[in-house]
């Protein structure tokens, strides 16, 4: 072996050592990169969860307050016939729904109590003869036919089976409206995951169908509830 050969061999060994150490460095880098990928994945997942579960519903639903505050609890103590005192059936079997000013005036022609809200109501609406522009939580889309007579009279159901314990509420919650469809959020439900605990949490077609199937034992024809 000549001196030059020795040199060559030495060089080769050196480069081999270099290569090994470089490989080692690369592996370390790869480990770090993996950690970063997982970190960013978690950040991204968390961000999209926040957007999907909190930001998007806020964007999707506009929020409005009712024109005046109203306590079902107080009124329920004063009236004689419970819900039907104000939410009554007309003689042709249709349901009156949210009362008109005409019904309110029966008692509120003048201020009855101490409350400032009531004084405002009498002054702004009763005295001026203006209808209160109530926002209706349970208004279904246009394609839906709902018969209160069939459920309350024929089916002998209680109001709060579908509307919840509204008679005990002291104030009206803010009305949320779907900006795309214009339908109240009470129809789709407040749980963005679509879970429901109570019957009155949601008023979607599936919820109607679920109860119809349970109580009637048949899948109803579409025309029963659609128009």
Partner 1 sequence: MKNNHNNGKAKKFGMVIDLDKCTGCGSCMVACMSENNVPFKADETDKRLSITWMLVYKLNNGKSHPDYDECYLPRPCMQCEGDHGHSPCVSVCPAVATDYSHETGIVSQIYTRCFGCRYCMAACPYHARYFNWWDPAWPADMEKYLSPNVSPRMRGIVEKCGFCFHRYQLAMDKAYYEGRDELEEGEYQTSCTQACPAGAIVFGDLNNPKHAVHKIALPDSKHGGRPKNPNAFRLLERLGTNPKVYYLSSRKWVRDSGDNYRPDEK
Contact predicate 147/97, CB 8 Å: no
Distance in Å, CB of 161 to partner 1, minimum: 10
Q: Does 221 bind partner 1 (CB under 8 A)?
A: yes
Q: Does 143 bind partner 1 (CB under 8 A)?
A: yes
Of 90 and 128, nearer to partner 1 (C-beta) is 90
Of 154 and 197, nearer to partner 1 (C-beta) is 154
Binding mask 77-96 for partner 1 (x = CB under 8 A): ------------x-xxxx--
Q: Could you report how far apart the first and last alpha carbons of the chain are, in Å?
A: 101
Contacts of 137-142 spanning 24+ positions with Cβ under 8 A: 137/173, 137/175, 137/184, 137/186, 138/163, 138/184, 138/186, 138/187, 138/203, 139/183, 139/184, 139/187, 140/183, 140/187, 140/203, 141/181, 141/183, 141/187
HSE toward the beta carbon, residue 102, CA cutoff 13 A: 5
Distance in Å, CB of 112 to partner 1, minimum: 31
Q: Does 150 bind partner 1 (CB under 8 A)?
A: yes
Instruction: Choose which of 113, 155, 174, 194 interacts with partner 1 (CB under 8 A).
Output: 155
Q: What is the token pair recorded at 57?
A: 């519903």
Gap between the Cα atoms of 88 and 122, Å rounded: 23
Q: Does 149 bind partner 1 (CB under 8 A)?
A: yes
Q: Does 181 bind partner 1 (CB under 8 A)?
A: no
Q: What is the token pair recorded at 110?
A: 């003048």
Q: Does 223 bind partner 1 (CB under 8 A)?
A: yes
Q: How far is CA 133 from CA 85, 105, 121, in A?
A: 20, 15, 12
- Within 111-140, which residues bind partner 1 (CB under 8 A)? none
The H-assigned helical ranges of 95-153 are: 101-108, 116-121, 148
Instruction: Choose which of 27, 29, 115, 215 interacts with partner 1 (CB under 8 A).
Output: 215
Q: Does 218 bind partner 1 (CB under 8 A)?
A: yes
Of 70 and 95, nearer to partner 1 (C-beta) is 95
Of 153 and 179, nearer to partner 1 (C-beta) is 153
Instruction: Choose which of 48, 145, 168, 179 interacts with partner 1 (CB under 8 A).
Output: 145
């Amino acid at each position: 072996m000549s001196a030059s050969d020795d040199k060559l061999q030495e060089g080769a060994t050196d480069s081999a050592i270099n290569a090994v150490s470089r490989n080692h460095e690369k592996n370390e880098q790869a480990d770090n990169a993996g950690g970063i990928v997982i970190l960013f994945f978690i950040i991204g997942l968390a961000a999209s969860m926040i957007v999907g579960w909190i930001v998007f519903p806020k964007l999707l639903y506009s929020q409005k307050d009712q024109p005046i505050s109203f306590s079902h609890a107080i009124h329920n103590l004063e009236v004689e016939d419970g819900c039907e005192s104000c939410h009554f059936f007309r003689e042709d079997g249709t349901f009156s729904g949210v009362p008109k000013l005409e019904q309110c005036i029966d008692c509120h022609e003048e201020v009855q109590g101490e409350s400032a809200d009531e004084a405002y109501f009498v002054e702004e609406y009763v005295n001026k003869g203006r209808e209160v522009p109530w926002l209706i939580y349970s208004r279904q889309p246009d394609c839906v036919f709902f018969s209160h007579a069939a459920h309350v009279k024929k089916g002998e159901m209680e109001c709060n089976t579908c509307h919840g314990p509204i008679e005990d509420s002291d104030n009206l919650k803010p009305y949320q409206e779907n900006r795309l469809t214009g339908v109240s959020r009470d129809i789709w439900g407040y749980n963005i995951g679509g879970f429901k605990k109570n019957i009155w949490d949601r008023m979607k077609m599936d919820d109607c169908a679920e109860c119809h199937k349970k109580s009637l034992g048949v899948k109803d024809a579409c025309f029963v509830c659609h128009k």
